[in-house]
Amino acid sequence: MWKTEMEKEDQLLNQLLQSRSIAMEKIKASQQSFILVASLLDRIPNLAGLARTCEVFKAAGLAISDASIIHDKQFQLISVTADKWVPIIEVPVSSVKVFLEKKQQEGFSILGLEQTANSIPLDQYIFPKKTVLVLGREKEGIPVDIIHVLDACVEIPQLGVVRSLNVHVSGAIALWEYTRQQRSQQP
C-alpha cells in the first residue's frame, strides 16, 4: 500500500511538471518579439518596474547588467514575480554593443529611447515586429558608442516644462506603444 501512495505522488508530480511545461510553452508562443535593454540602468526600483512591465506586455526578454539583482528584496517586492515569467538576460554594460549587433544580425531593429536632434516622436514611429529597445542611463542617457549602433531613436513627445520622465515610466510608455501597434495589426 505504501508503494501505491508513492506511485500516486510520483504521478501527480509528473502531471504537475507536465502542465507547468505546457504553460511555459504557451507563454513563450504568445510572447512579443520585443526585447528591452536596461543594462545601463542601476536603480533597483526602475529595473524591477521594467521587469513587471515586460511581463505585463509579454516582452521576449529584459536585458540587465547583473541578473543577481532578482534576488534583492526590493526587486522582488516591486516586480511581483515578473522575473519568473519574462526571460531576464544578463548583458553587462561592457557587452551591450556586441549584444545589439548580434540582435541586428538576427533581424531585430535596434532602437534607442532618447531625445536627439534626429529622434522620431513615439506616436509617429511604426515599430517593426522584431524590436530591441535600448534605455539610457538614468541621468546621462544612451552613450555615443551605443547611439552609433542604433537604427533609430524615438522620443516621447512632452508638453510640460520638465524635459524628462522616469526611465521606468518611459520604457513602459514605449512598450505599450509597441504593443498597441502590434495589437492593431492582428485580425
Same domain as 38, residue 26: no
Per-residue pLDDT 10s for the chain (187 aa) are 556 777 777 787 778 778 766 665 665 567 999 999 999 999 999 999 999 999 999 999 999 999 999 999 999 999 999 999 999 999 999 999 999 999 999 999 999 999 999 999 999 999 999 999 999 998 899 999 999 999 999 999 999 888 889 999 999 999 999 999 999 887 6
Q: Which domain holds residue 50?
A: 32-185
Which residues have CB under 8 Å from 152's CB, separation 6+? 109, 111, 112, 118, 120, 125
164 in Cβ contact with 138 (< 8 Å): no
Answer left, alpha or beta for residue 88, where phi above 0 means left and psi between -120 and 50 means alpha: beta
Considering the domain architecture, whether residues 15 and 71 belong to the same structural domain is answered as no
Q: Which residue has the cell 530591441?
A: 132
pTM, full prediction:
0.85
Cell of 71: 534576488
Number of domains in the chain: 2
Are residues 43 and 118 located together in one domain of the fold? Answer: yes
**Are residues 3 and 81 located together in one domain of the fold?**
no
Q: Note whether 34 and 59 are within 8 A (CB).
A: yes
Look up the CATH number of the domain holding residue 92: 3.40.1280.10
Pair (78, 107) in one structural domain = yes
